[in-house]
Amino acid sequence: MGMAQTARDLYDRVVELRRRFHMNPELAMEELQTAAHVTQVLRSEGMEVRTGVGKTGVVGLLRGRRPGPTVALRADMDALPMTEETGAPYASKVSERMHACGHDAHTANLLGVSMLLNQITKGGERLAGNIKFLFQPAEEGSGGARPMIEDGALTDPDVDAVFGLHVSSELPTGTIAVKEGVASASSDTAYIRIVGQGGHGAHPEKTVDSIVVASHFITALQTVVSREIKPNDAAVVSVGRIIGGYRSNIIAPRVELEATVRTLDPEVRASMRERIERILAGTTSAFRADYELDYAYGYPSQHNDEEMVKLVRAAARSVTSSDAETIPDPSMGAEDFGYFSSEVPGCFFALGVRNETEGLGVYPAHHPCFDIDERALYTGMQVMAQVALDYLERAFE
């Protein structure tokens, strides 16, 4: 039986899995039920399974009967802390928990891929090399890729290449799109405390007003991008959180700020802490205040390997009879798949889920009405499976 027919036979089960995950969302590093069900499906297919990888991650292994390289396929499992408003019959049953970024679809799709590959290779009998299935926790925020790597997800057997996908509400259902080279930004966070001297709002001369200092700092901070970074080197610095003050007639003794810092170039990234601290030190000194800075380095920039991109394009043509679209510009969003592709060559591509006629996939990710056209999973399963097979076959050319 061919891939298309096998995928068609698996489609209803994959949709059922997606809806099960969607109704039972779990936050980062809490994906216990999701991981348990993933484990159950993989073991029912006779695969080798490791659980608790990077705390709640799962690694399945389809081991080929003949020696060869190992390719890894990745999906993320966690949901977001928000309330769903889709009104769908399979809407979240958990208060303030929602799969609003498509990770339920990613997990169901990869389970579909594992079943598809297991069946068409006869449990690995027709396979030269190995295929790993990485079910990752905590993509949203804390980053589960790095703990999985530290826990051996890319070893025993050693992974030679890695692929992943993300659903996209910007592309028609079943469309594949990919960006060669730098595909997304690194994501770091600056935690800042400005320390002044509080007092009565009627006597500002006896205080150091931390809110005024913070206001000047936020304004000056924008010059990092507008006046210090070359116009063709993309960077974003956004202050997203401010905490300070008690009431109108009290001058706040301190203000806390949190800023996200996004860059595409590693050299620019390496310079950002110094640039921010220089402005922070100068501003606070000018107003007789002090400061504290904690700078946390987060996800690296995602880089798609040229040869891996070619494999994705070839798989898209094979499955859909159409060329994959080219994503013109890198995203300033961040994706911790970049940890995997920093270790081995990889490619992270997009799967369209937008069906305007039926009103599916028309809301962006992280929106309370986010949903997908599930028919995209039929294409997603096949493209990812074809990529894995093509990679292993290429080793014997």
What tokens were used for 66?
């003949």
H helical segments located in 25-98: 32-44
pLDDT of 142 > 90? The answer is: no
Chain position carrying tokens 């993309």:
234
Dump strand ranges (E) for 64-136: 66-76, 128-136
Residues 6+ apart with CB under 8 A from 378: 7, 8, 11, 174
Whole-angstrom distance, CA of residue 138 vs CA of residue 28: 4
When computed from its CA atoms, the radius of gyration of the chain, rounded to whole angstroms, is: 24
CA distances 238 to 23, 241, 299, Å, are: 33, 9, 16
Buried b (16+ CB within 10 A) or exposed e, 288-314: ebbbeeebeebbbbbbbbeebbebbbb
Boundaries of every domain in the chain: 3-182+301-394, 186-296
pLDDT of 263 > 90? The answer is: yes
**Quick one: what percent of the chain has pLDDT higher than 70?**
99
Per residue in 301-316, pLDDT (tens digit) is 999 999 999 999 999 9
Total-model pTM: 0.93
Q: Do domains 3-182+301-394 and 186-296 have the same CATH topology?
A: no
Q: Facing residues of 176 across strands?
A: 351
Per residue in 10-27, pLDDT (tens digit) is 999 999 999 999 999 999
What tokens were used for 253?
């003794």
Per residue in 333-382, pLDDT (tens digit) is 999 999 999 999 999 999 999 999 999 999 999 999 999 999 999 999 99
Residue 93 per-residue DSSP state: -
Whole-angstrom distance, CA of residue 305 vs CA of residue 183: 10
Residues designated as active site = 78, 139
Per residue in 314-344, pLDDT (tens digit) is 999 999 999 999 999 999 999 999 999 999 9
CATH fold of the domain at 3-182+301-394? Aminopeptidase (3.40.630)
CA distances 26 to 18, 92, 131, 139, Å, are: 14, 10, 27, 12
pLDDT of residue 396: 56
Q: How confident is the model at residue 395 (pLDDT cuts 50, 70, 90)?
A: low
Number of H helices, E strands in the chain: 10, 16
pLDDT of residue 394: 79
Per residue in 55-113, pLDDT (tens digit) is 999 999 999 999 999 999 999 999 999 999 999 999 999 999 999 999 999 999 999 99
Higher per-residue confidence, 141 vs 148: 148
CATH number of 186-296: 3.30.70.360
